[in-house]
Amino acid sequence: MNFDTKAIHTGRFKQDPKSAVSPPIYQTATYGWESLQEEPVPMYTRYGNPTRDLLEKTLADLERGSDCLCLSSGMAAVASVCSLLKAGDHVIAPMDAYGGTFAYLTRELEQFGVEATFLDHSDVESYRAAFRPNTRLVWLESPSNPTLKIIDLAACAEIAHRAGAYVGVDNTFASPYFQNPLDLGVDIVMHSATKYINGHSDVVMGALIWRNAEIGGRLRAYSKRAGNIPSPFDCWLVLRGLKTLGVRMRQHEKSAMRIAEFLASHPRVAAVHYPGLPTHPGHELAKRQMRGFSGMVAFEVEGARAEAESFTTKTRLFRIAASLGGVESLIGYPPVMSHAMLGEEERLARGVTPGLLRLSVGLEDTDDLIEDLNQALG
């Protein structure tokens, strides 16, 4: 089956006695035992839930994995991957990573004796040189948040596996519609399902997908102990949103490409970061490892913070908000949103300049969105 069909029909729910077309919500915390010798599976919703099971099966299929674990947020997913580490281990990650991930890899893991090294996102050879005998995890983003850099996932996976390390990839910006990192040799794919996978800005959730059963067993065991699971109702909402993922992603990309081209031609725009543009440094690599360029566009206005903040107050359709991937268009200012927890020097080292703005291009009419940006730029 092709992607759109899988999104609708994978794991059709068979257990509902009424044969409901829309899967039921198993809004229960626990399950009855017939006797002490007959433990139900699952026995408790922290361990599993039929609604969540259906979502996990569908996501695993769309990411071409063997199994999936849904979690309470994208950062819960990042923390779960880090549960594979122990004191004394070393992590390699890109400098251009989501601010929350950077903060977790440093301020949280350092107190447990795990050290992280951050590298230029596009320089694969720097990853090879950075390996140590105790390197156990390589964490990647492609496209990255917020500057949309592209890294060679297959090359990084090969380097990591030769050194005996796991490779995890945050695939949130691409979604499984445009990129499947497991096909490129990656071990774990992570999503903030809050974003494109849900697509309606009304759920917070994370997901991990894998093929390696040993990794999966450890991740599931940690989730049972940590209790970082989503509610059945949230799983049902994401299942509903997932059915239109392919349709939505095609329109997100179509509009994002036109907007990126418009911004690139505007005299008040100093730079545009969108891998679909031939001028993007990672354009050719993105064409090789992705099936499209998704709906995120970053750009830098001429001037500095005052000009960027002024722009955000003038848009009428692009609403200021910290998330992305929904049907409505959003504008984010990374220095005070996704990367607010970093110091100014840390932000500048990652390309998060005072003039940087990030657009999540929604599903409104493209001409209306371009008109909105044009009037805001003045």
Active-site residue identified among 53, 89, 170, 187: 170
| Burial (Cβ within 10 Å: 0-12, 13-18, ≥19) of residue 66 | middle
| Per-chain mean pLDDT for the chain | 95
Active-site residue identified among 6, 149, 195, 347: 195
16 pLDDT tier (thresholds 50, 70, 90): low
258 phi and psi, to 5 degrees?
A: -65, -40
Active-site residue identified among 52, 53, 89, 98: 98
Active-site residue identified among 4, 16, 31, 46: 46
Tell me the two tokens of residue 76. 């819960």
Domains by residue range for the chain, with CATH: 3-242 (3.40.640.10), 245-377 (3.90.1150.10)
What letter does residue 27 receive in the DSSP assignment? -
Q: Can you tell me which residue has the tokens 């819960």?
A: 76
Q: Can you tell me which residue has the tokens 């390699």?
A: 92
pLDDT on residue 342: 77
Out of 122-126, 162-166, 305-309, least confident range: 122-126
Clarify whether 196 is annotated catalytic. no
Over residues 236-287, the pLDDT tens digits come to: 999 999 999 999 999 999 999 999 999 999 999 999 999 999 999 999 999 9
Over residues 186-216, the pLDDT tens digits come to: 999 999 999 999 999 999 999 999 999 999 9
Concatenate the DSSP letters of all residues of 223-254 into one string: HHHH-----HHHHHHHHHHHTTHHHHHHHHHH
Rounded to two decimals, the pTM is 0.96
Q: Can you tell me which residue has the tokens 């999966």?
A: 216
Cα separation, 110 vs 349, in Å, equals: 20
From the list 190, 141, 135, the residue with the least C-alpha distance to 166 is: 135
CB 254 within 8 A of CB 360: no
Higher pLDDT, 120 or 212: 212
Tell me the two tokens of residue 326. 């929904």
**Angle (nearest 5°) at CA 50 between 47 and 51:** 110
Above 70 in pLDDT, residue 167?
yes
Cα separation, 148 vs 275, in Å, equals: 7
Clarify whether 243 is annotated catalytic. no
Clarify whether 195 is annotated catalytic. yes
The radius of gyration of the chain's CA atoms, rounded to the nearest angstrom, is 21
Cα separation, 274 vs 350, in Å, equals: 16
CB 203 within 8 A of CB 233: no
Spatial strand order of the sheet with 330-332 comes to 269-273, 296-301, 356-360, 330-332, 319-320
pLDDT on residue 303: 79
pLDDT on residue 199: 98
pLDDT on residue 332: 95
Out of 19-33, 157-171, 244-258, least confident range: 19-33
Three-state DSSP class for residue 251: helix
Clarify whether 177 is annotated catalytic. no
Contacts for 310 with CB less than 8 Å, ≥ 6 apart: none
CB 219 within 8 A of CB 208: yes
